[in-house]
């Protein structure tokens, strides 16, 4: 969390931050993060980042349908994720159909100044991937799911990710502190995946993107958690042997300590 005094200092400093280069004009939108590195330790229970900035050469007019609006998207590293549907087989619930989504964001959060559907038309939102209904969820070529049921699997995938806090949509959550300076908070759950995150900001005017920026943020484990994570990822056999050995040793030690003579 950033204290109010510290936030105003950071907001003042953002005027001197050079924006990232995008396809649209980036000179009119400047953004920055409260932290570009999130460290995960054993006592990590989640946190939040503050995204703030300024829309230069623009002044937002409240209740102006053709005025200035913002959307900010935070995306985690892509993953391949399988969603399964259970069914009864001989009286037992087992996994039946499964859909595999490829290269989808492991984490996704979007914040906006107004309802996402009012930012722009559907085609623009689909192209930019703004909003849970507009994420590109590509499926694998091999699937045992009937075409008529694929929308159900997509909805189930998004719903399950929302329940775990890994996907979120916060409409009307970006606050304008002045006519051009803004801020918003993005919650990061305890189960957030590690890796490089992209923070994309879009400035809309009259339903069109007039400026955009993109920044990166790292989520990383540190200390003993980082050692065990790398060991499990890079040397799974060694990690498995060590885990089993530790479990056997712990069991033996407990038997020695609590053994009755």
One domain for residues 251 and 194: no
Measure Cα distances from 61 to 58, 67, 68, 202 in Å.
9, 6, 7, 17
Residues 47 and 144 in one domain: yes
Positive or negative, the CA dihedral 158, 164, 165, 171 is positive
| Domain ranges, residue 120 | 4-221
Say if residue 217 is in the same domain as residue 228. no
Q: What is the pLDDT of residue 256?
A: 75
pLDDT at 15 over 90: no
Residue 4: enclosing H or E segment and its boundaries?
helix 4-13
Structure-block tokens of residue 221: 């484990």
Q: Are residues 192 and 247 in the same domain?
A: no
Q: What is the pLDDT of residue 22?
A: 39
Q: Is the same domain home to 172 and 232?
A: no
Residues 6+ apart with CB under 8 A from 255: none
Over its C-alpha atoms, the chain yields an Rg (Å, rounded) of 23
Q: Please name the residue ranges forming H helices in 28-186.
A: 122-128, 150-163
The answer on 92 and 53 residing in a single domain is yes
What tens digit of pLDDT does each residue of 235-246 get? 778 778 888 888
Asked whether 202 and 209 are in contact (CB, 8 A), the reply is yes
Query: Which tens digit of pLDDT belongs to each residue from 158-206?
Result: 999 999 999 999 998 998 888 788 999 999 999 999 899 999 999 998 8
Contact between 169 and 110 (Cβ < 8 Å)? yes
pLDDT(3) > 70: no
pLDDT in tens, 33-76: 988 889 888 788 889 999 999 887 766 666 665 578 899 999 99
Do residues 83 and 200 share a domain? yes
Cα distances (angstroms) measured from residue 220 to each of 197, 227, 234 = 11, 11, 16
**Do 155 and 257 lie in a common domain?**
no
Is 255 found in the same domain as 217?
no
Looking at per-residue pLDDT, the higher value among 158 and 257 belongs to 158
Q: For 93-126, write each residue's pLDDT tens digit.
A: 666 677 888 899 999 999 999 999 999 999 999 9
pTM for this predicted structure: 0.74
Please give the helix or strand (H or E) that residue 145 lies within, else none: none
pLDDT for res 138: 82
**DSSP for 242-259, written as a single string:** HHHHHHHHHHHHHHHHT-
Q: Which residue do the tokens 């995008």 mark?
A: 22
Task: Specify the number of domains making up the chain.
Answer: 2
Alpha helix stretches (DSSP H) within the chain: 4-13, 122-128, 150-163, 224-234, 236-257
């Amino acid at each position: 969390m950033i204290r109010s005094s510290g936030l105003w200092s950071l907001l003042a400093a953002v005027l001197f931050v050079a924006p990232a280069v995008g396809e649209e004009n980036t000179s009119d939108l400047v953004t920055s993060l409260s932290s570009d590195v999130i460290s995960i330790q054993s006592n990590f229970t989640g946190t939040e980042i503050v995204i703030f900035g300024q829309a230069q050469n623009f002044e937002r007019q409240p209740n102006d349908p053709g005025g200035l609006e913002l959307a900010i998207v935070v995306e985690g590293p892509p993953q391949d994720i399988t969603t399964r549907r259970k069914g009864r087989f001989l009286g037992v619930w087992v996994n039946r159909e499964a859909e595999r989504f490829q290269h989808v964001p492991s984490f996704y959060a979007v914040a906006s100044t107004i309802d996402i559907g009012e930012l722009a038309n559907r085609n623009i939102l689909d192209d930019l991937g703004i909003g849970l209904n507009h994420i590109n969820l590509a499926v694998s070529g091999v699937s045992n799911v009937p075409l008529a049921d694929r929308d159900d699997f997509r909805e189930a995938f998004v719903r399950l990710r929302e329940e775990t806090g890994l996907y979120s949509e916060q409409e009307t959550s970006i606050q304008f502190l002045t006519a051009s300076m803004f801020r918003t908070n993005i919650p990061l759950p305890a189960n957030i995946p590690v890796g490089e995150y992209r923070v994309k900001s879009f400035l809309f005017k009259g339903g069109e993107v007039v400026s955009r920026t993109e920044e990166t943020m790292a989520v990383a484990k540190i200390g003993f958690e980082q050692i065990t994570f790398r060991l499990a990822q890079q040397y799974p056999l060694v990690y498995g042997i060590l885990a089993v050995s530790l479990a056997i040793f712990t069991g033996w030690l407990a038997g020695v300590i609590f053994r009755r003579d």
